[in-house]
Amino acid sequence: MNEAPIGIFDSGIGGLTVASAIRRLMPLESMIYFGDTAHLPYGEKSEAAVQAYSIKIADVLLEKGCKVIVIACNSASSSAYELLVEYVGKRTKIINVIDPMVGLVGQQFQNDRIGLIGTKRTVNSKVYFRKTSQLGLGIELASLATPLLVPMIEEGFIHQRISHDIIEKYLEDEVLAGISALILGCTHYPLIHGEIVAHYGGSVQVLDSSEVTAQYVYHYLLQENLLSSHLGESDRFLVSDYTDSFEVSTQLFFGKRVHLEFYKLWE
């Protein structure tokens, strides 16, 4: 079981930021990544649609014997996590990208006002709001949907005047006034982490869920005695729709270009 792969899925290739953090922290683990490129963006879809896609992908990762399934997508984590836990039952563990971040915020930002930026699906689901409120630690959550950021990043507009202007426009929204930390609640945003940090000039802590999630996965595997002691199968990167441009973009999100394999999700 220890040599079984870690399953990771996302609406597309953005979740490779989480896969990359897992790869850096746990070099001996094998991964099977599933990017649902046929159905992205999840951030613009209904809850029911994201739930249906997530169940279908969980079936693929279960069939491949994954010892844990990481929902690397904030939109899927906010819409399908509870359903997946129920669906998968004891067959494997499901980890989302929201709980590790909420845990961190609970430890470090009690009685603070915290900002969240993410897709419409994530923000409208109010899951971060519900989970931070349930901590009962006086955390006030200020959230803003920032839907232009995903296409902007996918088109490679990073560290440019246009990205600077869009980021500034969003971050200066009065909803986010007075925050002491900002949660980057989307797979793509680690790529503009530097620009967001520069915008605040050190006055706001910028929290990246890919690193926190990788730590969470590591501690889970350690606690359950499931860490691999030697490198097994090579990583695989499956996608429900293949284009060259998806493959080229893997460089951006994973730090190196990887080979994508087409996997037919629906018969």
Instruction: Give how many residues touch ligand DGL by CB under 6 A.
Output: 19
- Name which position in 17, 54, 79, 119 contacts ligand DGL (CB under 6 A): 119
Q: Among 75, 79, 92, 96, which residue sits at the site for ligand DGL (rule: CB under 6 A)?
A: 75
CB of 50 to ligand DGL, least distance (A): 9
Q: What is the DSSP string of 127-161?
A: HHHHHHHHTTS--EEEEEE-TTHHHHHHTT--SSH
Q: How far is the CB of 252 from ligand DGL (least distance, A)?
A: 13
Q: Which of 7, 41, 115, 190 touches ligand DGL (CB under 6 A)?
A: 41
User: Which one of residues 10, 29, 211, 235 is an interface residue with ligand DGL (CB under 6 A)?
Assistant: 10
188: left (phi over 0), alpha (psi -120 to 50) or beta: alpha
| Distance from C-alpha of 79 to C-alpha of 54, rounded to nearest angstrom | 9
* 123 forms part of the interface with ligand DGL (CB under 6 A): no
Binding ligand DGL by CB under 6 A: which of 5, 14, 100, 115?
14
- For residue 66, indicate whether it is catalytic: no
Stretch that binds ligand DGL, among 17-25, 118-126, 193-201, 218-226 (CB under 6 A): 118-126
User: What's the one-letter identity of residue 58?
Assistant: A
**Does the protein bind ligand DGL through residue 183 (CB under 6 A)?**
no
Among 8, 105, 149, 186, binds ligand DGL (CB under 6 A): 186
Asked, as a colleague might, if the bond just before 41 is cis with ω within 30 of 0, I would say: yes
Which SS3 state, helix, strand or coil, does residue 116 take? strand
Beta pairing, strands 113-118 & 93-96: unpaired
**Comparison of 23 and 228: residue with beta carbon closer to ligand DGL:** 23
Residue selected from 122, 210, 213, 249 as contacting ligand DGL according to rule CB under 6 A = 122
Active-site hit among 18, 21, 72, 186? 186
Site for ligand DGL in 124-143 (CB under 6 A): none
**Least separation in angstroms between CB 195 and ligand DGL:** 18
Quickly count: other Cβ atoms within 10 Å of residue 43's Cβ.
28
* Dist CA 144 CA 124 (whole Å): 9
Q: Is 186 a catalytic residue?
A: yes
Within the chain, what is the greatest distance between any pair of CA atoms? 51
Helix (H, G, I), strand (E, B) or coil at 63: helix
Of the candidates 69, 183, 68, 179, which has an alpha carbon nearest to the alpha carbon of residue 122? 183
Question: What is the rounded distance in angstroms from the CA atom of residue 227 to the CA atom of residue 230?
Answer: 9
Active site positions, annotated:
73, 186
Binding site for ligand DGL (CB under 6 A): 10-12, 14-15, 40-43, 73-75, 118-119, 122, 150, 186-188
